[in-house]
């Protein structure tokens, strides 16, 4: 089985995000960037499938600027066999990324595409579903457990009512949830080895993919500051405040 793992470069999860003064977006200058946490989980799951003998090759792919080579090298250090960067200088949005991945899938012919369910910068949770629709493949979203089964994959996914188990025929698209696994720590020797692994750079324009943004951000605001709570002396006092001040009962 050949696995394709799309990954995204985002602001590091440990960095406090600040809104630009002109409210056109978030501040990215001199900010530490890293691989999206859900993408790390996807890379880890692909490696575990390979270690279990269910996969023979893992290809990491990213769509974005030249800086995305950093996270691709991280994926290679984790255990991916090779990487592909679809390079573009413009803004990337879910539909455009899904179309680029569709082109890469047609070129690489993977049996499984596994990616994070969402990115922590835009929280769209759309790329995996759009990609599955464009390819016409089976999909299992919000996966908390992935197992190789006869004829395909058994995917346990988290739903509002608990857990749901799906049997997917390959080829398929799977999106990962937080509880799927714990990504491994990347050791220095593996980082050094990753420098020698192949990383192919393709221009989005050469692939014939239209990455033109369909959505426009009007403005970005920080969440309103939370108002401090108050202490009440007794239950009757609480009921009085809820009824007469907050008008909720």
Question: If you average pLDDT over residues 236-248, what whole number do you get?
Answer: 89
Give CA–CA dist 128/112, Å, rounded: 12
Q: Are 50 and 79 in contact (CB under 8 A)?
A: yes
Give CA–CA dist 60/82, Å, rounded: 6
Give CA–CA dist 96/84, Å, rounded: 16
Average pLDDT, the chain: 92
pLDDT exceeds 90 at position 215: no
Domains of the chain listed by start with CATH number: 2-244 (3.40.50.620)
pLDDT exceeds 90 at position 246: no
Give CA–CA dist 97/124, Å, rounded: 12
Q: What percent of the chain has pLDDT over 70?
A: 100
pLDDT digits (tens, 9 = 90+) for 62-92: 999 999 999 999 999 999 999 999 999 888 9
Give CA–CA dist 245/188, Å, rounded: 59
């Amino acid at each position: 089985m050949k696995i394709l793992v799309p990954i995204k470069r985002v602001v590091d999860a440990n960095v406090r995000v600040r809104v630009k003064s002109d409210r056109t977006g978030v501040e990215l200058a001199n900010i530490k960037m890293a691989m999206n946490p859900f993408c790390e989980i996807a890379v880890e799951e692909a490696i575990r499938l390979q270690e279990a003998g269910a996969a023979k090759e893992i290809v990491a792919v990213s769509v974005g600027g030249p800086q995305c080579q950093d996270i691709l090298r991280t994926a290679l250090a984790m255990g991916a066999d090779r990487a592909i960067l679809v390079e573009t200088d413009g803004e990337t949005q879910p539909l455009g990324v899904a179309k680029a991945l569709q082109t890469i899938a047609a070129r690489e012919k993977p049996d499984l595409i596994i990616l994070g369910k969402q990115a922590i910068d835009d929280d769209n949770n759309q790329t995996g579903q759009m990609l599955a629709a464009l390819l016409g493949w089976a999909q299992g979203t919000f996966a908390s457990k992935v197992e190789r089964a006869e004829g395909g994959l058994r995917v346990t996914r988290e739903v509002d009512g608990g857990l749901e188990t799906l049997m997917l025929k390959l080829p398929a698209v799977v999106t990962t949830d937080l509880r799927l696994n714990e990504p491994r720590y990347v050791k220095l020797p593996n980082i050094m080895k990753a420098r020698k692994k192949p990383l192919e750079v393709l221009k989005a324009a050469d692939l014939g993919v239209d990455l033109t943004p369909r959505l426009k951000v009007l403005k970005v605001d920080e969440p309103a500051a939370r108002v401090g709570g108050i202490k009440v002396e007794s239950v009757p006092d609480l009921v009085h405040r809820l009824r007469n001040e907050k008008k909720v009962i």
